[in-house]
Chain A
């Protein structure tokens, strides 16, 4: 009877294992079938990093590769992508249609980039050392796509391109919202744009501003679709994170080696009682020194964030994060020029 029960139990385990295997296989099949392998591995790496513990975040590399798109009339974008694997889009000879195709391509690439990076909701840059203020915050970028234009009418196309209008008037794929609303919120009706101050204010017709995205247009035949994120902590968060991390380390150490930790604590406390003044001086001095490092790093990180985020957002908006230099996440279209990109990014995490 007992043996029969054992056999039934084992059979049940087998059935459950096979069902589990099939469910996982189906999930993986759908996962890899839906979008290309490269995009999926990028998204998975973003999720993995965003959900990793802070101490491990910097060791999780992003598996994102820059997509190369050639918009061509006759050429093959050899000037931009010599020997590189690229996707080719034919523009035809009509400059108006070519402009529309370019606007559509850039908008789709921005949208895809924004979605892949978690729509600015995932923190993919902040390591434990940054969160605790022991390292200055820096801006990380993912170069999602490079879009090159190879056409005899390139000048006319680039002069007439109006990406901001396209984003406000066209729906994002698979959504009832316009691109702009999908990037920001439903109330956004205007588009922050890097340019002169007048241009920025003129374009800002709504109180609610788009906080996630901005466009920087240039008359360059090659553009980069870039995701940028910088998230410096404030002073309260930095010190809070230090205490939290210290508590976790101490708790883990006590859990693993209770006797050693207890004896260290007791001997430390007894020394402090024996020499209270010296202990207070040493402890106070160390704490003040460390605190000054944290304060300097937090200040520098917030100043850096203000510099990067203010370039791409409109003053007077609702986001306390940006106004208070708490950082920002954004998708931008920039000319593919080292100077333009280096101004915004401290480092690039994607593969070329």
Chain B
């Protein structure tokens, strides 16, 4: 018993320094982990806050522009995010979306199902739509057209058509969105580039 008491007494300084060091180490590790993992998700949350506040601030019949920042900060080459939206009565929306819902989702969770990777928010509107427009070169009549870019010098090249996609891709440092309100309906619209067709194999742009 006495020996035990001596041990703590003799090594008080060492124990004190060890405890302080462990706390500092744990704090530092937690900060590093938070900084690395939270960046893109946190930015997406800020973006959705901005979308919500701006949407609520406009009156019916008005429209405004919102400039949002791409969640990727250049550290990861694989990083790519999308804004998606579903109205209250839309089918095939993520199970966690109740009512009208706007989500910002990474490429690896395009359907916005994961609450750990994607950010979704309920918006107080009956109907929400989102679309982005792009130009697409098509080879054949539209009904047979392959939904992918085609070399304009190719003999198959015929014309350029406009295509609308039900999402906005966040592929530039700053993205400008147009928001229009009509009664309890909200429409977000933006622009996108042709490369999206390659990535999504045209499935969502038909």
Interface residues, chain A, CB within 8 Å of chain B? 10, 13-14, 17, 58-59, 61-63, 78-79, 82-84, 138, 140-141, 143, 336-339, 341-342, 345-349, 351-352
Contact = CB atoms under 8 A, between A and B. Distances in A.
Contacts of B67: 336-338
A305 B70 CA distance: 22
B174 A83 contact: no
A96 to B, nearest CB: 30
B173 A348 contact: yes
Given A58-B75, A347-B72, A338 B35 contact: no
Interface of B: 12-13, 16-17, 35-36, 39, 42-43, 46-47, 49-50, 53-54, 57, 64, 67-70, 72-75, 172-176
A82 B55 CA distance: 9
Nearest to A11: B13
A59 B76 CA distance: 10
B64 A351 contact: no
A13, A78, A138, A352: residue with the most chain B Cβ atoms closer than 10 Å: A352
A349 B74 contact: yes
Contact of A13 (B13, B53, B69, B174): B13
Nearest to B42: A351
A101 B174 CA distance: 28
17 contacts: A14-B13, A17-B13, A61-B35, A82-B53, A82-B54, A83-B50, A83-B53, A84-B53, A140-B74, A338-B175, A342-B173, A346-B173, A348-B69, A348-B73, A352-B46, A352-B68, A352-B69
Given A78-B57, A347-B73, A351-B46, A141 B13 contact: no
Contacts of A17: 13, 16-17
B36 A59 contact: yes
A290 B42 CA distance: 37
Given A10-B13, A141-B173, 4 more contacts: A82-B53, A347-B72, A348-B173, A352-B50
Q: Which of A10, A63, A339 has the most CB atoms of chain B within a 10 A radius of its CB?
A: A10
Contacts of A342: 172-174
A351 B72 CA distance: 11
B21 to A, nearest CB: 12
Contacts of A141: 173
B102 to A, nearest CB: 15
Contacts of A337: 67, 176
B53 A59 contact: no
Contacts of B174: 338, 341-342, 348
Contact of B47 (A78, A338, A352): A352
B75 A59 contact: yes
Contacts of A348: 69-70, 73, 173-174
A78 B58 CA distance: 10
Would you call the interface of chain A mostly helix, strand, loop, or mixed? loop
B13 A83 contact: no
B43 A83 contact: no
Contacts of A345: 173
Contacts of A138: 74
Nearest to A45: B35
Nearest to A79: B64
Contacts of A62: 73
Nearest to A352: B69
A338 B75 CA distance: 21
A28 to B, nearest CB: 13
Contacts of A10: 12-13
Contacts of A352: 43, 46-47, 50, 68-69
Contact of A82 (B42, B50, B72): B50
A234 B17 CA distance: 47
10 cross-chain pairs, A with B, having the tightest CB-CB distances, nearest first: A347-B74, A83-B53, A338-B174, A338-B176, A82-B53, A348-B173, A82-B57, A82-B54, A61-B35, A352-B69
A351 B40 CA distance: 10
A17 B17 CA distance: 9
A61 B46 CA distance: 17
A29 B40 CA distance: 31
A8 to B, nearest CB: 13
A55 to B, nearest CB: 13
Contacts of A347: 70, 72-74, 173
Contacts of B64: 79
A14 B13 CA distance: 7
A148 B42 CA distance: 24
Nearest to A59: B36
Given A59-B36, A82-B53, A347-B72, A341 B13 contact: no
Contacts of B72: 347
A173 B173 CA distance: 32
A33 to B, nearest CB: 21
A349 B72 CA distance: 8
Contacts of B17: 17
A337 B176 CA distance: 8
A141 B173 CA distance: 9
A349 B73 contact: yes
Contacts of B35: 61, 63
